[in-house]
Amino acid sequence: MIEIIPAIDIIKGECVRLSQGDYSRKTIYPSTPLEMARLYADAGVKRLHLVDLDGAKDGEPRNLATLREISGANILKIEWGGGIKDRAGLEAVLDAGADYAIIGSLAVKNPDLMEGWLQEFGGERIILGADIRNGKVAVNGWLEDSPLTINELIDRFIPFGLKEVICTDISKDGMLQGPSVQLYLNLAERYPDMTFTVSGGISSMADIRNLDELGLPRVIVGKAIYENRISLEQINDFIAGQADLFPNR
C-alpha cells in the first residue's frame, strides 16, 4: 500500500508553496512548519518531506532551526532536501535531526561525492532527488537544466547502493493537475528494485488511490493539503484503512 508523505516547503522559517518551482510565484501559509508536522503526525503520517528552498537557492542549508524544532518533537521521520552541496551541509542536516538526506543538484554536479556518500551512509539514508523538466534533470532549486536524463542519473549510482529516488515532474508541481503517472510506471518497470516516490501534481485522494492501485509505493503531497483539496481527515481515514487491511505492517 502506498505511503503518504506530506511536504513542507520552507522559506525563512515559513510554510510556502511555489508554482512550477518559480520563486516569484510563492504562496505563504499561516501555520508554522512545526504546527503542520504535529497535525500530520496526529493524522497517522509517519514520514515528512522538508524542503529548504532558501538552501536550494543559496547552496547551503538555511532553515536548520526549523529542522531542529521538528526533529526535537520526535513525532515523524524526516527527509530533508535543499542546500546539501558539500560534506559540511550533509553533516549539518544529519546533525540537526534529519533521518534521510535528499541529494539533488550535487548528484549531477559532483557525482563522485554522491557515490562516496552512498557507500558511507548507505542507500537507506541518502536519497537521490531528481527534478525533471522537459525530459532533463533540473538543478539549483530548479533554476537550471542539466543535460542528463533521469535514467542516466539513476544508472550512474546503482553500482554504489542507490535504493531510493524522489522524482518530481516540475511541470506538474504545485499545479494540482494530477501526477505524471506514466513517468513513474516507466521508472518502476525499468528499475524494479528501486523505491520511487511520486512528487508533483497530486490534486485529490483519487490521485493517491490511483497510484496505490498501480502499485507505486510512496507519494509526496503538498499544495493539495494547503488548498484543502485533501483533508487531514481523509489522510487519517486512508492510513487507518491501510492498517485494517495490513495489521502487521
Give the active site residues. 9, 131
* Contact predicate 205/213, CB 8 Å: no
* Torsion sign, CA atoms 16, 18, 24, 26: negative
* Contact predicate 218/189, CB 8 Å: no
Q: Where do we find the cell 503542520?
A: 36
* Contact predicate 172/201, CB 8 Å: yes
* Contact predicate 242/249, CB 8 Å: yes
Q: Where do we find the cell 558539500?
A: 86
> 198-229: b or e for each residue (b if 16 or more CB lie within 10 Å)?
bbbbbbebebbeebbeeebbbbbbbbbbbeeb
* Torsion sign, CA atoms 29, 30, 36, 42: negative
* Contact predicate 7/227, CB 8 Å: no
CA atoms within 13 A on the CB side of 61: 27
Q: Which stretches of 45-149 are DSSP H helices?
A: 53-58, 64-73, 87-95, 105-109, 111-121
